């Protein structure tokens, strides 16, 4: 599929997207280089791609359910600022609970973050159900 042609109603064809993102974050890489999140420690194995294609199955607020070509299951795309906010909230609660395990306000804040994440997961599950796609995991409480 050529550049600029979509896949489906909300399809994307993103040649050069990775290069643009790497450029925006000033990541100088040569062909075949791999990205790691921390120097000397690769949490995930990244490969630089020049032509990645996928389909956006649904958009809801700051999240989208996307299906990358070659992947068995769709993924949940979360905007970076939304994900950073969730991470900050969890880290803050963890720090406060380590300091005082009986901190009721910290536990309330933790419940709030869990609720936010549950809403994201419910959106993902609803989109997959709509499209009759099996979940890539067993739901809690299911057997």
pLDDT tens track for 8-49:
322 333 333 333 333 434 444 444 444 444 455 556 666 666
The reply to whether 109 falls in a domain is yes
- Mean pLDDT for the stretch of residues 46-56: 76
Stronger pLDDT, 49 or 90, i.e. the higher one: 90
The reply to whether 78 falls in a domain is yes
139 Cβ neighbours under 8 A, 6+ residues apart: 125
The reply to whether 45 falls in a domain is yes
The reply to whether 5 falls in a domain is no
Asked whether the predicted pLDDT for residue 103 surpasses 70, the reply is yes
The reply to whether 67 falls in a domain is yes
Instruction: Provide the domain limits for residue 46.
Output: 11-130
The reply to whether 49 falls in a domain is yes
Helix runs in 1-143, H state only: 17-24, 80-99, 104-130
Instruction: Report the number of distinct structural domains present in the chain.
Output: 1
Provide the total of helices (H) and of strands (E) in the chain, helices listed first. Answer: 3, 4
Contact 65, 124 (CB under 8 A): yes
Return the minimum-mean-pLDDT range out of 11-15, 108-112, 114-118.
Answer: 11-15
């Amino acid at each position: 599929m050529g550049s600029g042609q979509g896949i489906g109603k909300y399809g994307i064809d993103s040649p050069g997207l990775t290069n643009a993102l790497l450029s925006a974050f000033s990541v100088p890489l040569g062909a075949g280089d791999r990205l790691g999140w921390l120097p000397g420690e690769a949490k995930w194995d990244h490969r630089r791609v020049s032509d990645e294609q996928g389909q956006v199955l649904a958009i809801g607020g700051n999240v989208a359910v996307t299906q990358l070509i070659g992947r068995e299951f769709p993924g949940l795309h979360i905007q970076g600022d939304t994900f950073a906010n969730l991470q900050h909230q969890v880290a803050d609660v963890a720090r406060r609970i380590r300091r005082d395990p009986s901190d009721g306000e910290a536990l309330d804040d933790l419940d709030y973050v869990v609720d936010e994440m549950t809403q994201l997961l419910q959106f993902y599950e609803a989109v997959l159900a709509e499209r009759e796609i099996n979940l890539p995991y067993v739901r809690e409480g299911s057997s």
